[in-house]
Amino acid sequence: MTARAAVAADAHLPNPFGWRFTGPLMMGSTLNPINSSMIATALVGVGTDFHRGPQSTAILISVLYLCSAIMQPTMGKLARVFGDRRVFVGGLLVLVAAGVIGACAPAFGFLVLSRALIGIGTSAAYPTAMSMVRKRADAIGTGVPSRVLGGFSIAAQVIAVVGLPVGGVLTGVLGWRAVFFVNIPVAVLTLVWVMRSVPADPPIEHSGPLALLRTIDVVGIVLFACTIAGALVILGDLSNPIWWLIPTVVFAFVALVGWERRTRSPLIDVRMLARNRPLVRTYLRQALAALGSYTAMYGISQWMEDAAGYSAARVGVILIPLSAASVVVARVNSTHGWVRRPLTLTGICFASSGVLTLVIDHSASVYLLIAMSVLFGLANGLSGFANQATLYTQSAADEIGVASGLYRTFAYMGAIASSSLIGIAFGAHATDVGLHVVGVVIVVIGVVLTAMTVLDRRIPREVR
């Protein structure tokens, strides 16, 4: 039996989207968000051991975001050339190497390398998983597997929140090196699971080295990396922008578009994006939703500690409804396959939470803070599945890997822009005035998201 025939046969099992198939894919897809949050608790220990201050250790956070934003769509492209499972497995092997380097790091530079490799390795999972899910769904004619997409959305949301306490336990009990080492057994477990449960890829069509490089689109990848890296550096510090970098990014972007229009096998099919404007709008909605959500999680939590005087533990308790609401509404959405209505409600929830932010100050009742947490959680959960399902329906089957990678890239851009927003609003200390500035921005985000949804007739009402 050929590999392609094996995929088709396996797809027609009684439960083709059971845990045997989706389990390792979801597990691999959560490794990026958990590594994004888990490192936060290890930074103090790293700084102490290597005599580095907060500004130096912060690069361990930013380098993962940077590599992930670049590599997510790149991995989707590589999967089209070499096969989804091969790239998924390759990413896990890179993650194992990253864990070894980080756990044994003799100098700070090795930790930076480890975090870069973690970003690269974990970026392989999500775009290849979406591609494998799409191929299986098309093989059995199920349409949009909404419960599966909802599972991916919920897993990412839960793991991103769980990463902080998990990192805290590992660091407190075993030291900061455990935060790097833990990637080794988890990656090996996922590797064994995917090798046993996911069908093998078809054989790779042989071609010469030059033809292979053209197919991979190395030039496009380099230009894309330059564009995204420069854009993220600018977004990361809008209060003090590097002015000379702006024309550099513009030049790289123009060069990228020009090259991708001419090459036969582009990384980013700019002609398709020009035609598929609903997909572009989905990316913009995702970036705005990420900007609002990350601003809430990090900016408002910082305000509660600095201005309102709450302890870190109490802030964590106040934010529990944010995570709970996200998970509940994401599950309800994925069960019913709702899309348009949740996206409309996303904007309304953001706008409402922004208005609430404008009327509170450091003496506000804890119940108002919990209400604000719930509204942000609803917005986060409503947008997660709905945007992901919209992306699924708006992307061609052979483009779903790259399209899913770009989806994550836009989310990273929103997340990094949130740090600039928080820095501009609060400055050296989080104050009530700064909170109200954040509230105005969140109201604008909510209004824009609502208008984008109401006016976009290409968003499906629901998916089945």
Residues 5 and 141 placed together within one structural domain of the fold: yes
Residue 263 lies in a domain: no
Residue 385's domain comprises 277-464
Residues 187 and 88 placed together within one structural domain of the fold: yes
Residues 452 and 338 placed together within one structural domain of the fold: yes
Residue 16 lies in a domain: yes
Residues 33 and 145 placed together within one structural domain of the fold: yes
Q: Is 207 a residue whose pLDDT tops 90?
A: no
Q: Is 429 a residue whose pLDDT tops 80?
A: no
- In this prediction, residue 424 has a pLDDT band, given cuts at 50, 70 and 90, of confident
Give tens-digit pLDDT for 102-123: 999 999 999 999 999 999 999 9
**Predicted local confidence at residue 430, as pLDDT:** 81
Mapped onto helix, strand or coil, the DSSP state of residue 266 is: coil
In the chain, pLDDT over 70 holds for what percent of residues? 94
**365 Cβ partners below 8 Å, 6+ apart?**
none
- In this prediction, residue 7 has a pLDDT band, given cuts at 50, 70 and 90, of low
- In this prediction, residue 12 has a pLDDT band, given cuts at 50, 70 and 90, of low
Number of compact structural domains in the chain: 2
From 161, 179, 198, give the residue that closes a domain.
Answer: 198
Residue 185 lies in a domain: yes
Q: Is 5 a residue whose pLDDT tops 60?
A: no
**Predicted local confidence at residue 323, as pLDDT:** 77
Residues 298 and 174 placed together within one structural domain of the fold: no
Mapped onto helix, strand or coil, the DSSP state of residue 338 is: strand
Residues 193 and 282 placed together within one structural domain of the fold: no
- In this prediction, residue 174 has a pLDDT band, given cuts at 50, 70 and 90, of confident
Tell me the average pLDDT across 219-226: 95
Q: Is 76 a residue whose pLDDT tops 90?
A: yes
**Predicted local confidence at residue 165, as pLDDT:** 66
* From 86-100, 135-149, 213-227, the region with the lowest mean pLDDT: 135-149
Residues 328 and 186 placed together within one structural domain of the fold: no
- Domain containing residue 99: CATH number: 1.20.1250.20
- In this prediction, residue 51 has a pLDDT band, given cuts at 50, 70 and 90, of confident
Residues 113 and 14 placed together within one structural domain of the fold: yes
Residue 362 lies in a domain: yes
- In this prediction, residue 426 has a pLDDT band, given cuts at 50, 70 and 90, of confident
**pTM score of the predicted model:** 0.86
- In this prediction, residue 421 has a pLDDT band, given cuts at 50, 70 and 90, of confident
**Predicted local confidence at residue 1, as pLDDT:** 45
From 173, 198, 223, give the residue that closes a domain.
Answer: 198
Q: Exposed, middle or buried by CB within 10 Å (0-12, 13-18, 19+), for 288? A: buried
Residue 237 lies in a domain: no
**Predicted local confidence at residue 362, as pLDDT:** 87
Arithmetic mean of pLDDT over the chain: 87
**Predicted local confidence at residue 3, as pLDDT:** 47
Distance CA 249, CA 159 (A): 33
**Predicted local confidence at residue 26, as pLDDT:** 93
Tokens 């449960």 — which residue?
197
Residue 9 lies in a domain: yes
**445 Cβ partners below 8 Å, 6+ apart?**
288, 289, 291, 292, 347, 350, 351, 354
* From 3-7, 142-146, 266-270, 286-290, the region with the lowest mean pLDDT: 3-7
Q: Is 187 a residue whose pLDDT tops 80?
A: yes
Residues 295 and 181 placed together within one structural domain of the fold: no
Residue 209 lies in a domain: no
Residue 208 lies in a domain: no
Tokens 């290409």 — which residue?
458
Residues 30 and 144 placed together within one structural domain of the fold: yes
DSSP for 278-326 reads HHHHHHHHHHHHHHHHHIIIIIIHHHHHHTS---HHHHHHHTHHHHHHH
Q: Is 2 a residue whose pLDDT tops 70?
A: no
From 167, 198, 229, give the residue that closes a domain.
Answer: 198
**How many C-beta atoms lie closer than 10 Å to residue 414's C-beta?**
22
